Amino acid sequence: MKGNFEALAVMFGKEPIKPKRITEQAIKIHKDKRELAITPETIAKIKQELKNARQGNYSKKWRNRRWTALISINLLFTLSFWIDIQLFEGSMIASRVLGFHMADVYSALQVVLAYKIMFINLAIGTITVFFIWIFLGGRAFCSWVCPYHLFAEWTERIHIKLVEKKWVKDHPFHRGVRTIFWIVFSILAFILGYALFNSINPVGIVSRALIYGPSLAILWVVMLLLFEIFYSRRAWCRYVCPMGLTYGITGALSPLQVTYHLPDCQHEGACRVVCEVPHVLECVKKSRAKEVTVDIGTDCTLCGACVDVCPTSSLRFEIKGLSYLT
């Protein structure tokens, strides 16, 4: 499992630190890398790889698979409603799929705290989703299913272009504010007797808009996307969304993960350029890996961008106990 205490602490907002304990085998590899002469050709190659990563010139195999899955899943809910076959009912927040109740874990918590009661269907749906995302990797929900994530991904590209042209400046926040939002929304639900987060959650708003048609609430989503374009890169997903944090906690128990393999890594950093949550890739920096093979942290969305861009396959999708996924 990838859920060690340090990975969880980093997900909650702690800054990644250099590990205090490094295995003997990893120490030897680090030493060999430091003593290895770097040629001008190698430097030129690394610079080109970084340039390609920033410009998006690399294989997008996993991204294409992910977009196909995300669009297909959301389309199934939309078509099921439009042609009234009732196989996929509801939205990404609460639904019934092939007769099985499903409910987002944090959204369900909001309902329980607000109404001080656990409905049987809500309990069944929450438990079902909890175990599904343990199996599928926790925050994989964010990049493989969440409809808001896809729009945020597209607007992020606009933000990056504007920053490159120096038309706007990115304003990052401390990642720990997401934990504060998780707590604040929970307390508000309990005190107010109303699930406030569920009303402003862009995931639910976008999902319902795609299925049933847009409402005035879509203006809130547009405001969030504009904020992310002109002020803070991917702000909702990185600094606010309690759902992402909850799925990260769930994913701590998952056998599905991205793993880092130290020996072949060139440390050129292209993976950190394309990563949605680059703090999880602290181990790819020189002398930072504490073992020959390192499990990427629980805050990883398993988007596969780092796997696509890595020129040496040092980053791979793996299921613990099985071979890596290609």
13-60 per-position pLDDT tens digit: 988 888 888 899 988 888 888 877 777 887 888 888 888 888 888 889
pLDDT of residue 294 exceeding 70, the answer is: yes
Instruction: Report the distance separating Cα 215 and Cα 42, nearest Å.
Output: 54
Inter-residue contact 138 to 249 (CB < 8 Å) = yes
Residue 101's DSSP bridge partners are 96
Inter-residue contact 235 to 155 (CB < 8 Å) = no
CA distances from 34 to 27, 37, 100 (A): 11, 8, 55
pLDDT score at 272: 92
pLDDT of residue 252 exceeding 70, the answer is: yes
| Over residues 267-272, mean pLDDT | 89
Closest CA to 292 of 62, 29, 77, 84: 29
Give me the residue spans of the domains in the chain: 5-57+255-325, 62-249
Which residues are CB-neighbours of 260 under 8 A, at least 6 positions away? 281, 283, 284, 289, 293, 294, 295, 296, 314, 315
| Over residues 97-112, mean pLDDT | 91
pLDDT score at 33: 83
Instruction: Report the distance separating Cα 75 and Cα 24, nearest Å.
Output: 50
How many residues belong to the chain? 326
pLDDT classification of 1: cutoffs 50, 70, 90: very low
Q: Beginning with the edge strand found earlier in the chain, give each strand of the sheet holding 293-295 in spatial order.
A: 293-295, 256-261, 315-319, 324-325
Instruction: Report the distance separating Cα 282 and Cα 271, nearest Å.
Output: 10
Share of the chain above pLDDT 90, in %: 64
pLDDT classification of 305: cutoffs 50, 70, 90: very high
Instruction: Name the token pair of 12.
Output: 């909650």
DSSP 8-state secondary structure symbol assigned to residue 30: H
Inter-residue contact 149 to 255 (CB < 8 Å) = no
Instruction: Report the distance separating Cα 243 and Cα 93, nearest Å.
Output: 10
CA angle 308, 151, 185 (to 5 degrees): 110
| Over residues 218-238, mean pLDDT | 96
pLDDT of residue 2 exceeding 70, the answer is: no
Instruction: Name the token pair of 197.
Output: 């987060």
- Nearest 10 degrees: Cα torsion 264, 268, 270, 275: 80
pLDDT score at 21: 87
pLDDT score at 46: 80
Tell me if the pTM is above 0.75: yes
Q: What are phi and psi of 65, to 5 degrees?
A: -65, -40
CA distances from 46 to 43, 268, 276, 323 (A): 5, 6, 21, 29
62-93 per-position pLDDT tens digit: 999 999 999 999 999 999 999 888 888 888 89
Highest-confidence segment of 15-24, 186-195, 269-278: 186-195
pLDDT classification of 323: cutoffs 50, 70, 90: low
pLDDT score at 195: 93
Instruction: Report the distance separating Cα 261 and Cα 257, nearest Å.
Output: 13
Instruction: Report the distance separating Cα 187 and Cα 201, nearest Å.
Output: 16
